C-alpha cells in the first residue's frame, strides 16, 4: 500500500551536467595542517560515530595505542597525558577532554549513561594546501586521520564534511589527495583522468535546505555536492548517494540511496534527474478488529528518484499520515511516528 506525503520537502530536482576534461596544473604540492580543538563541535558529518570506552580510550599515539580509563558509576577517570595515571574526570552524562602527549594532541566529547561511556572526536587538522582550505576529521575515533571512507574531510569553507576520499575537487579542478596518519602532512597532485560536472543543487526546490549530499563512485572518490549551484567537477564514473541531510528550522531528515539508480557522470554526455518530492510512503500494515497497525520498522519514505528519507527530527517524528474512509473520503484517524 502507498500513501503520498509532502512533509518537510517540496519538489526537488537535480541534474548531472557533464563537461570535458579539465586542464590541470602538473605540479605536486605538499602542506602541513595544524591541530584545532572544538569544544562546540558543529560539523555536519556523513555519519556521527561514537566509540565505547571499555577500560581505555582507543586513540593511537606515538607512545601507545590507547589511554587508560576507569569508570565508577556516572564518573569516568581518564589518563589524558599517557603517563598511566588518571588525571581528568568526566562527571555525569556529558564531558569534554583534551589529550596531549609528545607529538600528539586530541580532543573528544564524552557521553555517559547507566550502560557506560562513549566518546567521539571533537577536533580537526586544519590548514590550506595548494590554495585548498582543508579540515581533516578523525571520524572513526581511533586517533588517526588517513582512513579512506572512514575518516572525513571538509574541502573549502564551511562545516559540511564528506568521507575521506582519494581525490578532492576545488574551484573546477580535481586533485589526487594523500594524508599522513597523524593528519599533519597532505599531498595534492593534479588528477589526470577524465572529469565531468555533477549538479545536485541547481534545481533543488524545497521548503527545506539541502545541507549535505555525499556521493561516491565506489572506487574511493567521495564528494559533498550540496551547495554547488553550478555543479562540482569530479572524476567520471557511476555515482551513488551515500548520505545527505535536509533541514528546515528545527526539522530535519537524513537521506540515503534507498532504491535510487546510479548517476552516470561522463565527459561527453549531459544527464538530468528529478528527485525529492512528492514523497511516497511504503509500508505494510495489519488489520484486526477494526484497527490498522503499522510498525515504524515497516515504514519507508522514498523520493521521486527512489532515495530514502530517514531519522526525522525533532523526536524522530515522521510525516503525518491520515487514514480516510474509502467510500466517503472522510478522515477516520491520523498518526505520526515518534509522537506521544
C-alpha cell, 304: 521521486
Kindly report the pTM of this predicted structure. Answer: 0.84
CA distance 203 to 307: 16
**Residue range 35-42: mean pLDDT, rounded:** 97
pLDDT at 285: 75
Is pLDDT of 283 > 90? no
Does residue 288 share a domain with residue 172? Answer: no
pLDDT at 272: 60
pLDDT at 156: 95
pLDDT at 312: 83
Q: Which of 141, 169, 192 is the last residue of a domain?
A: 192
Does 151 reside within a domain?
Answer: yes
Does residue 174 share a domain with residue 41? Answer: yes
Does 340 reside within a domain?
Answer: no
- Residue 297 has phi, psi (to 5 degrees) of -70, -15
> Which residue blocks in 197-283 are alpha helix, DSSP H?
none
Does 57 reside within a domain?
Answer: yes
- pLDDT band (50, 70, 90) for residue 315: low
Is pLDDT of 319 > 70? no
Does residue 159 share a domain with residue 42? Answer: yes
Q: Which of 251, 273, 295 is the last residue of a domain?
A: 273
Percent of the chain with pLDDT over 90: 63
**Residue 211: domain span:** 14-23+194-273
Does residue 182 share a domain with residue 52? Answer: yes
CA distance 197 to 195: 7
Least confident of 97-111, 182-196, 219-233, 291-305: 291-305
- pLDDT band (50, 70, 90) for residue 277: confident
**Residue range 16-20: mean pLDDT, rounded:** 38
Domain count of the chain? 3
Does residue 178 share a domain with residue 225? Answer: no
- pLDDT band (50, 70, 90) for residue 324: confident
Does residue 131 share a domain with residue 210? Answer: no
Amino acid at each position: 500500500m502507498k500513501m503520498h506525503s509532502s512533509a518537510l520537502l517540496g519538489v526537488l530536482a537535480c541534474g548531472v551536467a557533464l563537461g570535458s576534461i579539465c586542464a590541470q596544473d602538473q605540479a605536486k604540492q605538499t602542506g602541513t595542517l595544524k591541530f584545532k580543538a572544538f569544544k562546540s563541535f558543529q560539523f555536519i558529518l556523513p555519519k556521527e560515530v561514537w566509540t565505547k570506552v571499555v577500560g581505555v580510550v582507543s586513540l593511537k599515539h606515538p607512545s601507545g595505542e590507547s589511554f587508560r580509563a576507569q569508570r565508577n558509576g556516572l564518573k569516568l577517570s581518564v589518563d589524558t597525558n599517557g603517563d598511566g595515571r588518571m588525571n581528568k574526570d568526566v562527571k555525569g552524562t556529558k564531558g569534554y577532554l583534551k589529550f596531549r602527549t609528545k607529538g600528539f594532541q586530541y580532543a573528544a566529547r564524552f557521553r555517559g549513561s547507566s550502560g557506560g561511556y562513549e566518546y567521539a572526536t571533537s577536533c580537526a587538522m586544519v590548514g590550506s594546501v595548494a590554495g585548498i582550505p582543508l579540515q581533516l576529521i578523525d571520524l572513526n575515533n581511533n586517533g588517526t586521520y588517513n582512513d579512506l571512507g572512514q575518516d572525513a574531510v571538509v574541502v573549502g569553507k564551511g562545516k559540511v564534511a564528506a568521507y575521506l576520499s582519494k581525490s578532492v575537487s576545488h574551484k573546477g579542478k580535481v586533485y589526487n589527495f594523500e594524508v599522513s596518519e597523524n593528519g599533519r602532512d597532505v599531498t595534492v597532485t593534479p588528477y589526470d583522468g577524465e572529469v565531468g560536472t555533477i549538479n545536485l543543487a541547481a534545481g533543488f526546490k524545497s521548503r527545506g535546505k539541502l545541507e549535505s549530499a555525499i556521493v561516491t563512485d565506489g572506487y574511493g572518490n567521495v564528494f559533498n555536492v550540496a551547495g554547488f549551484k553550478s555543479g562540482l567537477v569530479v572524476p567520471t564514473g557511476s555515482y551513488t548517494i551515500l548520505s545527505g541531510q535536509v533541514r528546515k528550522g528545527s526539522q530535519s531528515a537524513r537521506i540515503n540511496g534507498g532504491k535510487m539508480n546510479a548517476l552516470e557522470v561522463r565527459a561527453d554526455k549531459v544527464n538530468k534527474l528529478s528527485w525529492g518530492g512528492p514523497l511516497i510512503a511504503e509500508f505494510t500494515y495489519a488489520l484486526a478488529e477494526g484497527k490498522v497497525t503499522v510498525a515504524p520498522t515497516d515504514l519507508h519514505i522514498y523520493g521521486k528518484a527512489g532515495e530514502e528519507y530517514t531519522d526525522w527530527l525533532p523526536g524522530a517524528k515522521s510525516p503525518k499520515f491520515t487514514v480516510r474512509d474509502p467510500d466517503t473520503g472522510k478522515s477516520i484517524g491520523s498518526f505520526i511516528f515518534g509522537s506521544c
